[in-house]
Chains A and B, each alone.
Chain A
Amino acid sequence: MIKKFDKKDEESGSGSNPFQHLEKSAVLQEARIFNETPINPRRCLHILTKIIYLLNQGEHFGTTEATEAFFAMTRLFQSNDQTLRRMCYLTIKEMANISEDVIIVTSSLTKDMTGKEDVYRGPAIRALCRITDTTMLQAIERYMKQAIVDKVPSVSSSALVSSLHMVKMSYDVVKRWVNEAQEAASSDNIMVQYHALGLLYHLRKNDRLAVTKMLNKFTKSGLKSPFAYCMLIRIASKLLDETEGGHDSPLFDFIESCLRNKNEMVVYEAASAIVHMPNCTARELAPAVSVLQLFCSSPKAALRYAAVRTLNKVAMKHPSAVTACNLDLENLITDSNRSIATLAITTLLKTGSESSVDRLMKQISSFVSEISDEFKVVVVQAISALCQKYPRKHSVMMNFLSNMLRDDGGFEYKRAIVDCIISIIEENPESKETGLAHLCEFIEDCEHTVLATKILHLLGKEGPRTPQPSKYIRFIFNRVVLESEAVRAAAVSALAKFGAQNDDLLPSVLVLMQRCMMDSDDEVRDRATFYMNVLQQKQKALNAAYIFNGLSVSIPGLEKSLHQYTLEPTEKPFDMKSVPLATTPITDHKSDITPVSSSKLPDKLTPSRQDIYQEQLAAIPDFQGLGPLFKSSEQVQLTEAETEYVVRCVKHTFAGHMVFQFDCTNTLNDQLLQKVVVQMEPSESYEVVTYIPASSLPYSQPGSCYTLVRLPEDDPTAVSCTFSCTMKYLVKDCDPNTGEPDDDGYDDEYVLEDLEVTVADHIQKVLKANFGAAWEEVGDEFEKEETFALASVRTLDEAVGNIISFLGMQPCERSDKVPENKNSHVLFLAGVFRGGHDMLVRARLALADGVTMQVTVRSGEETVVDVILASVG
C-alpha cells in the first residue's frame, strides 16, 4: 500500500497528501472491486478509507452513487478481516443519511451485535442504532435490553449511549429500558457507570421526585468515574436551582464534599457549580474560591484558564471574595497564554482598589494588540463595569477607550467600545463633551454602518444641548458628503435636531438641508424635504412631534396594519392609533460580562413578545373585533411553586376589553384534564363575556385557556379590579406509563390566587427621547397638579421605583436614576393610555422625613388625567 503512495510522492515531493487528488468518480469506480471474489481485504479497506475521507472533506455524494457504493459495500460483510469490518460500520454511519435503503444491513449488524466476537459487538450496536427508526426499534428491543446489561463494558456502553441518542426519536420505547440502565449503573466499569447515569437522568429529568431519589442513591453509594461525578454535580445543582432549596440541603453538602475529590476535573466542576449558584453567600463561596486559587498556579494551561475564568465570574458578584487571590492573579498577568492574562487582569480590575486602576490599565494596553477580539470585548466590558464603580476615573478610561477605538478590530469589538463610551456619557454628564469628541473622530473613518448611524443618532440627541452645538455640525455634514445611503439619512435626521433645538443655527441648517435635497438617494431626499418643511414652520409642537420624538408604534405591527389597509380599499385615511404600540424592552438586555459575546445576533427585526401574542390572539375567532392589542402584562403566578397544577396569567388589554390568558401545566402524570376553564368573579363592575376552555391538558404539556372581560364603559376611572379565580375542569385518571386515560371522568375545581388589574395594565410605556419638547407639545390644556405625602418611603430611589412600577410608565431623560446625596429629584414619565391618548407625568420629589411628591399630569384627554390622579391618591 505504501509503495503505491511512494510513486505519487516522487512526483509531487515528499510530505504530500496521498488523498490530495482523489477524484470521487475514480474512487467510486474502484469500489467495483468490492464485488470481486475472493475479497481482497487490504484493497477494499483502502477504498473505504478513501470514501470516508472524501465524505469528511465535505465532498457531496449523490443519492444514486452513494446507494450504489453502499450496496457494494454490504458484500464486504463476507470477509472476516477485523479492520475491514470496523470500517464497514463507519461507512454505514457516515452514509446513513445519504444513501437509500440503509436498513438492508440490519440483519448483518444484528448478527454481529449478538455474535461471539466482542470486538464487533459494541461498534455494531452503534451502527445499527444509527440506521434504526422507531418502527424497527421494537424489533431489536430485546437485543438492546440484553446489551445494556452485558458484562462486556464496551457492549454495555455502546448500548447505553445509542439509547441516549434515540431518546429524542423514540422516548416511549427507550423509557422501557430504565430497569436495565439502573442495573448498568452499578457496573464496576467507570464509563458504563457514567453512560448509565446519563441515560437514567435523561429518561427521568421531568420527574423531580425520581431524580432526587436517584441522586440520593448515587451520592451515598459513591461512584468511581470522575465523569459520572461531574454529571452528578450538574444534576444536583440544577435540582438545587429549581427547588430553590437552601444551601443547608444535603445536595449542597454533596457538591461541597466534591471539592475534596482527588480528581481535578471533579473538584473544578464542584467549584464552578458553587460559583454559579444564585445568591451564594461569601462564606459558602470561600472553599470554592480557595481551590480555584490553587489551580491558578497549575502547570496545565487549561486548568489555569478554567480557574481564572471562573474567578472572573465570582468577581462580578462578589469582588471581595476574590481579593484573597489577588496575588495569584497578579502572577498570571504575564502568562504566555494571553487569554489567561486578559482574564486575570479583568478580574483584578473588578477586585482591585481605585488606586490600582491606572497601573492595570497601563498593563493591558501593553498587550491589547496581541489578544483576540473576543477577549478585547471582555476588557472593554470590564472597563465599562469599572466606570460605574469609580465614576471619577472616567477620564483615564475615556482616554484608553479612544485609543482602542483607533486600533484595528472587528465589528463586535468596536461596538463594545462605542456602547461603553455611550454609557459613560450617560452616567457622567461632565464626560459628555470629551466622549462626543472621540465618537466624532471615530465616525470620520468608520466602516461599520450600524455604528455610524448609532453615533449620529446620539449626536442628534445630545449635541444640540451642549454649550457649543455648532462644532458638531461639521462632523455630521461630512457624513452627508462622504458616506453610504443609510449613514447619510441618519446624518440628515441628526442635522434636523440641531435646527429644531437651536434657533441661531436654524438658518445654516436650512441651507445644508437644501443641499441634501439634491441627494441621489430617495430616502435621504425624502427626509431632507420633510425636515425642511417642518423646520420652516418654526412651531415647537411640530418639532417635538416630528423631529425629537419619532413614531412609537411597533414596526411589525405597522407593517401588518398597512398591509391590511391596502387590502381593503376605503375612503377613510389610515389611523395611526389602530397600530399596536412598540413595547420598550422591560429587562435591560445588557449581556453578562463574560467572554461569551453572542456573535450570531439575529440581524432581522424579531417580532416582540407582544407581536407574538397579538398573532396568537387574532387566531381565536371570539377575539376578533377587539381591535389591536394594546398591552400584554408580564406573567403572574396564580399558584404556589410545587403544586399539582401550575397556572400563570398574562393580562392582555384592548381598547374596551381585557383578555386573560391562563397558561396551565398539569404536573400529575396519572391525570388528564379536559375542558379547563378559569372562572373569574370580578369585584367591580367588570363583566365576564366568554370563557374559552383548553380542550385537553395532558401531563406536563402546557395549554392555554382564555377569559374575555368587558371593561366598564360608563365609568372610565374604574381602572383597578380584583378577580377571584377558580380553575374548573374534568379529570380523567390515566396510566402514568402509557398516558392512556380512563373513559369516565369527574368534575373538579381548584382555587387559584386572586388576580389584580391595576392602572399599569391600562398604560403602555413610550419613550420620549426629548421629554421637554413632548411636554410642550401636549400643552397645558388638561394639566392637573396635586401633592402627596409618601410617608412609608425612606429614600428617593425607593420612591422613584415605586412610582414607575405603580404607573407602568416609561422614565425619560434617565430621570429614573437619582444622583447621590440629593434631597430633591424630578422624575419624568411618559406613556399612552388605553385608547391611544398620550400622557406625561412630571413628579417632583423632595426628601424630608418621608418623601413629598408633587405630581403634574398632562394629556390630550381630560379623563386620563383624572384617572391617574385618582389612582395615585
Chain B
Amino acid sequence: MLLVMEPSLYTVKALFILDNDGNRLLSKYYDRELYPSIKEQKNFERNVFNKTHKADNEIAFVEGMTVVYKSSIDLFFYVVGSAQENELMLVSVLSCLFESLSQILRKNVERRCLLDNMEGVFLIVDEIIDGGVILESDPQQVLQKVNYRADESPLSEQSVAQHITEKLALTTNVLQSAKEQIKWSILK
C-alpha cells in the first residue's frame, strides 16, 4: 500500500450509469482483470448502488475501489478508480460526463431523455475516456468533438414524407369541398 504507485495514464477502471432501480443503462469496464464477467460486474454495480443511492455523498469506497458519483432525478452516474487514484481526477471525469450530457439533453438529465438520445451518450463517453485513459475533461471540447444534436423535432425522412402526404390529403380535401360548394352554388 505504501509502495509508490506506478505512474500511468490508466486512471479510470470503470464508468457506469444506473437508473433509480439500480439497473444498468450504460457501463464500461476498462480494466479487464477487474470483474471480467458480466455477473461480477452486475454484482459490483448492485453493491455500489446499494451503498450510494440513499445519500448523495459524492464519494464512496466499495470493494477496495474509490467510487465518485452524482445523481440527477432518476439517474446515477459513477466513475470508479483504484484506491490509490487521485480522487480529484475521477471527479473531473465525472463532472465532464455530467456537464456534457446535461448540454446535449438540454438540462433534462433524466432517464427517459437519456434513453432517447442513447447514441449521443455512447459517443460522449467514448470521447471522454478511451480504454481507461482520460481523453478529454473539458465538456465544451467533448461537445464540439461529438457534434451531436438531440432530437427536438423528430422529423425523420419518413415522417416528413408522411407529413407531406397528410398535408396533400388535407389540401385535396379542401379543394374537394370547395369544388362541391362551387358546384352547389352554381346549381342553385
Contact = CB atoms under 8 A, between A and B. Distances in A.
Interface of A: 1-3, 5, 14-15, 17-19, 40, 42-43, 45-46, 48-49, 52-53, 56-58, 82-83, 86-87, 90, 93, 119, 122-123, 126, 154, 157-158, 161-162, 164-165, 191, 194-195, 198-199, 201-202, 205, 227, 230-231, 234-235, 237-238, 241, 264-265, 268-269, 272-273, 276-278, 300-303, 305-306, 313, 336-339, 372, 374-375, 591-592, 594-599
Contacts of B19: 17
Contacts of A83: 119-120, 123, 147-148
Given A83-B123, A191-B134, A238-B7, 10 more contacts: A87-B122, A90-B122, A119-B147, A195-B9, A198-B8, A202-B8, A265-B88, A306-B86, A336-B55, A599-B64
A588 to B, nearest CB: 15
25 contacts: A15-B111, A18-B116, A19-B115, A19-B118, A46-B119, A56-B26, A86-B123, A90-B123, A119-B147, A154-B145, A164-B9, A191-B135, A231-B9, A237-B4, A238-B7, A268-B87, A269-B86, A302-B90, A372-B51, A374-B62, A374-B64, A375-B61, A591-B1, A597-B64, A599-B64
B123 to A, nearest CB: 5
B7 A17 contact: no
Given A5-B116, A83-B119, A595 B62 contact: no
B60 A339 contact: yes
A302 B59 contact: yes
A241 B58 CA distance: 33
Contacts of A303: 87-88
Contacts of A273: 4
Interface string B1-13: 1101111110000
Contacts of A48: 119
Interface stretch (B154-162, B169-177, B180-188): B154-162
A194 B134 CA distance: 9
Contacts of A592: 1-2
Contact of A42 (B4, B55, B148, B157): B157
A723 B36 CA distance: 50
A198 B86 contact: no
B37 to A, nearest CB: 9
A268 B86 contact: yes
A605 B133 CA distance: 36
Given A230-B89, A372-B51, A339 B57 contact: yes
B87 A306 contact: yes
Nearest to A130: B131
Contacts of A122: 145
Contacts of B90: 302
A597 B65 CA distance: 10
Interface of B: 1-2, 4-9, 19, 24, 26-28, 38, 41-42, 51, 55, 57-64, 68, 74, 83, 86-92, 111-112, 115-116, 118-120, 122-123, 126-127, 130-131, 133-137, 141, 145-148, 151, 154, 156-159
Given A227-B137, A599-B64, A87 B86 contact: no
Most A CB contacts (10 A, CB to CB) among B5, B145, B151, B158 go to B145
Contacts of B42: 58
B113 to A, nearest CB: 11
Contacts of A235: 7
Contacts of A596: 1, 64, 83
A93 B1 CA distance: 35
A3 B133 CA distance: 38
